[in-house]
Structure 1
Amino acid sequence: MVGRHAARSRRAALTALGALVLTAFPSAATAASAPLPTAPRTLGADTPSAQVLRAMERDLGLTPDQAADRLVNEADAGTRAGRLRNALGDHFGGAWLSGATAAELTVATTSAADTAAIEAEGARAAVVQKSLDQLDEIKDRLDAAADRMETADTPVWYVDVPANRVVVRATGESAARTFAETAGVAAQDVHVQVSANRPRLLEDLVGGDAYYIDGRARCSVGFSVTKGTQQGFATAGHCGGPGATTTGFDQAAQGTVQASTFPGKDMAWVGVNANWTATPDVKAQDGQRVQMTGSVEALVGASVCRSGSTTGWHCGTVRQHDTSVSYAEGTVDGLTETTVCAEPGDSGGPFVAGTQAQGTTSGGSGDCTSGGTTFFQPINPLLSDFGLTLRTTSSASTPAPQDNAAADAWAAGRVYEAGATVTHAGLRYRCLQSHQAQGAGSPESTPALWQRV
């Protein structure tokens, strides 16, 4: 099988790469008591749960071997893309995956001279006109204009990385052009996609488990989190404001919304009482559970699965990150768009990629009968904004970030963006993939996430 052979070849390449890293940095080699783990092992992609695999087989049309290979390929590709992003600097135009098993990583650059470096990482090179920074700048101008005008007829706009363009999804061409003109964006810098679909909040609400806000609206538990000694869970901001009380699926007293942001972002967290215990679990198919090991952000094209009490456990792929959506209630920026279906009642629930937490369900269009589009609020900004620690299988060794630690010192519990640099054990490292640092994974032991510089 081609997918299995590709995965084996990639695993062999990773082993070789690990040897090269140790040779180039002998001090790191002497500090390690064992070979560094591969990216798939670091991220838990080499030991996927049966629930994730079965849902991927059903929703992505994969065989069992293809589903397993895809998770390994995605984990590997994320690290290679991170290394190339660091190496290409201002030339970097984004990265994405393709193929049934995500075996092909494409990395874009604005300079043809970078092709050899990209291909040396086993990726396909795409020479594009605009860097990712330039595309982000265009979208930032649209974001600013949305604060000054009505966007009901232009409900979605985003950076389309594979197409190297900014897209405005609108009910008509004229509405999109007016939006761009107000933002001071040239017509040629925006691609208009005409669609009658208007995303709405999935407000009947739930996720892995149901909870109720002020005894009325039903929402979804996203991921378990902690803040100091307080346990709780992350969910959607539109589910309720600060101070709202919540009850569990059996209407038992549960907790209080500690913080909530909506619109602008769609994030909230609930602090629970002593009757509830935070776990790293997410409800999967038929009541089975998947345990989270981290929050490493998946690439465009990667597979993701979602849990919701209305429609259950469904999978799809990431379309794009940093999407702005204009709901009737207000605009939300920084969402991730996916091909996963959802329906009212699924809001706030968890999105996962393998064993990595991705975000909480915000809204969308369509349904799980005919198919649809769903947006989620990424989990890492939520953790960072509210000072929370994601509950994972290694949470016992993941303390909350220390405010008095040196600004550039690596610290468990901190959220790091791709490209960030830290100091640890006297050495410098650059972040390859956005994530919240876990206590069990310092930079020298997680080459999937950090590169020695």
Structure 2
Amino acid sequence: MSHKRIPKRKAAIAAGSVVALGAAVMLLPNANASQDGSSNGAAVPKTLKATDASDLAAQLQTLLGQSFAGSYYDAASKQLVVNVVSGSNNQVVVEAKKAGAQVREVKNSLASLKSGAQTLKAKATIPGTAWAIDPKTNKLAVTADRSVTGAKWARLTSTVKSLGGGMATVKKTSGKFKTLVSGGDAIFAQAQGGTVRCSLGFNVTAKDGSPAFLTAGHCGVAAKQWSDSQTGKPIATVDQATFPGNGDFSLVKYDDPNTKTTSDVNVGGGQTVQITKAADATVGEQVFRMGSTTGLHNGQVTGLDATVNFASETVPGGTDTVTGLIQTNVCAEAGDSGGSLFTQDGSAVGMTSGGSGDCTAGGETFFQPVTAALQATGATLGDSGAGAGAGAGNQGGSASADPSASATDGTGAGGQAGGGAAVGGTADPSAAATDGTGAGNQGAGTGAGDQSGAGTGAGDQSGAGTGAGDQSGTGTGAQSGAGANNGSSLTQTR
């Protein structure tokens, strides 16, 4: 039976365009494996990878019970730091230390911090505000964007003050919280007001076994049918969508049940990082985000179970409140929405929801946890169906993700033809593709052209312009031109 295969650019689970980044963030070497250590019989903290720290934190939360007041990963020492409420039973503290955690006593219990968050929700649900528990400070970290002024700012600060001293901090950000519609491995829909562009987040297998993908929930409520090109016919239909409320995620099923997908992240230049599992985020761990507007960026998780109050785009003066998000200091801009948040070891962590700031001045960005989206939809992460080539090859074969290798002389992860190697290439998120080398897909263009084109760079589908044209010419966009970014200059955001 003939099976339809989505082109690599469409099937990749990352939200990044096929681009060669001028200043790509290098994925760092793996942290040391967990180690036991002791000095004179006394328990000392273990050296852990972030994912192992997350597992240990979950175990210790159960062990400590009400004494547990949050935890975070200290990336410098590679240790898990666990907060224990002052005056807790000494025996559970000893057990936590024996398990390998660094234990510190704090004032605020997790229950009191969660109660404070409920007070903020009841009294200060103001568009442009957000809050999350910060285990590093053992306080609620409250943020207000530039739109929160006058009476709104007074209301927010008075509510924070009412929580009592030492319970919360409040700061202003120069940006404005917004959902970041557009971006990534682009998907398009026609909605009231024009074309909506979002990003394909992670390919999954739906509960009924059909091929599907996850993306942002505000995309799924904006339109029902989605295409892999701005003017193309729909290829997928929204099955479930949550936004606003407890999350920002959509499950979108491919219309063709024979669609073959891959489980990897497109990190630029046609290169990929294999995704092997979904994982919960840990405060303090390093994470990577890929998006079409700004490419590959990294940072740290700064908060969990965050609440964000977006100004409603459909109800004038209304508020779209979303809970249960991951807060980070990774930058993002319009065009990066729905992009993959992942770790160096191939764990899928989140999908871009929204935030403030940009990749020049910085800011906060919030992500929908992948684990929560999978649980809510019943989907499973990974390839759908046999024949989905592993790694970076578009026509099968296997390629490994090597963040440091250079893509030269046909080495890379291209598919079918062009300069890239369809089988056995080495994925390099930072190498520049030249002279047909790297990730050419079907065409013979120089660099990482996708399906043809004579331009230099990473144009998608055709065109000879220099830069990143959207369908033709010079500009910033997807589907043609021969530039470096798949932005959204020819599409409208919601």
TM bucket (normalised to shorter chain) is 0.5 to 0.7
Q: Which residue of 1 aligns with 2:238?
A: 257
Q: 1:183 to 1:127 in 2, by over 3 A?
A: closer
- Within the alignment, does 1:373 sit opposite 2:353 as a pair? no
- Is 2:78 aligned against 1:96? no
Q: Percent identity?
A: 35
Is the CA contact (8 Å cut-off) linking 1:70 and 1:103 kept in structure 2?
no
Answer yes or no: is 1:160 the counterpart of 2:137: no
Q: Are the structure 2 counterparts of residues 161 and 393 from structure 1 closer, same or farther at C-alpha, using a change threshold of 3 Å?
A: farther
Letter in 2 for 1:225: V
Conserved 8 A contact 1:236-1:362:
yes
CA shift in 2, pair 1:194/1:145, >3 Å: same
The letter of the residue matching 1:164 is N
- The superposition leaves residues 176-222 of structure 1 with CA deviations (integer Å, 9 ceiling, x where unpaired) of 6634767995343332223343211112x123x11101271111001
Q: Relative to 1, partners in 2 of residues 1:142 and 1:395: Cα closer, same or farther, differing over 3 Å?
A: farther
Deviation of 1:344 (Å) = 0.8
Classify the secondary structure of the residue corresponding to 2:357.
strand
Counterpart Cα distance in 2 of 1:200 and 1:111 = 39
1:231 aligns with 2:216: no
What TM-score results when the alignment is normalised by the length of structure 2?
A: 0.61
Is the CA contact 1:173–1:194 (under 8 Å) kept in the aligned structure 2?
Answer: no
Q: Cα deviations across residues 101-155 of structure 1 (Å, max 9, x unaligned)?
A: x512211101452443332233221101122233122213323445xx5x03x51
- Select the structure that is richer in helix: 1
Is the 1:141–1:185 Cα contact (8 Å) retained in structure 2? no
1:123 pairs with 2:105? no
Paired with 1:173 and 1:127, the residues of 2 have a C-alpha distance of 38
Return 5+ residue gaps in structure 1 as ranges: 1-54, 397-453
Partners of 2:162 and 2:384 in 1: how far apart? 46
Q: 1:79: which partner in 2?
A: 55
Q: Separation in 1 of the partners of 2:162 and 2:201?
A: 37
| 1:254-291 alpha-carbon deviations (Å, 9 max, x no partner) | 11111212222311121112263232222123221222
Cα deviation, residue 68, structure 1 = 4.4
Give the partner amino acid of 1:231.
P
Structure 1 residue 248 corresponds to structure 2 residue 223: no
Work out whether residues 292 and 392 of structure 1, in 8 Å CA contact, stay in contact via their aligned partners in 2: no
Q: Which amino acid aligns with 1:284?
A: V
CA distance in 2, matches of 1:84, 1:395: 39
How big is the shift at 1:299? Answer: 0.9
Counterpart Cα distance in 2 of 1:346 and 1:168 = 24
- Cα distance in 1 for residues equivalent to 2:109 and 2:241: 34
One of 258, 276, 292 as aligned partner of 1:309: 292
Give distance in 2, aligned partners of 1:68 and 1:75: 10
CA distance in 2, matches of 1:279, 1:144: 43
Deviates more, 1:239-248 or 1:290-299: 239-248
Instruction: Tell whether the 8 Å contact from 1:242 to 1:257 is kept in structure 2 after alignment.
Output: no
Output the amino acid matched with 2:111.
D
Q: Is the 8 A contact 1:293 1:392 kept in 2?
A: no
Supply the distance in 2 between the matched residues of 1:99 and 1:394 (Cα, whole angstroms).
Answer: 38
Partners of 1:70 and 1:238 in 2: CA distance: 39
Matching residue of 2:250: 268
Q: Structure 1 211/123 Cα, relative in aligned 2: closer, same or farther at 3 Å? A: same
Cα distance 1:201–1:242, how it changes in 2: closer, same or farther (>3 A)?
A: closer
Count of aligned pairs between the two proteins = 331
Q: Is the 8 A contact 2:176 2:357 kept in 1?
A: no
User: Are the counterparts in 1 of residues 260 and 386 from structure 2 also a CA contact under 8 Å?
Assistant: no
8 Å Cα contact 1:202/1:363 also seen in 2: yes
Does the CA-based 8 Å contact 1:169-1:192 persist in structure 2?
A: yes
Letter in 1 for 2:375: S
Q: Any unmatched runs of 5+ in structure 2?
A: 1-20, 35-47, 313-319, 388-494
Instruction: Find the aligned partners of 2:386 and 2:349 in 1 and give their Cα distance.
Output: 17
Residue 323, structure 1, aligned to residue 306, structure 2: yes
Check the 8 A contact 1:181/1:187 in 2, yes or no. Answer: no
Distance 1:141 1:289 in 2: 44
Q: Contact 1:225–1:231 (CA<8 Å) still a contact in 2?
A: yes
TM-score, scaled relative to structure 1: 0.66
Q: Give yes or no for the alignment of 1:186 onto 2:163.
A: yes
- Alpha carbons of 1:394 and 1:259: their partners in 2 closer, same or farther (altered >3 Å)? closer
CA distance in 2, matches of 1:341, 1:180: 26
CA displacement at 1:298 relative to structure 2: 2.4
Which of the pair has more CA radius of gyration? 2
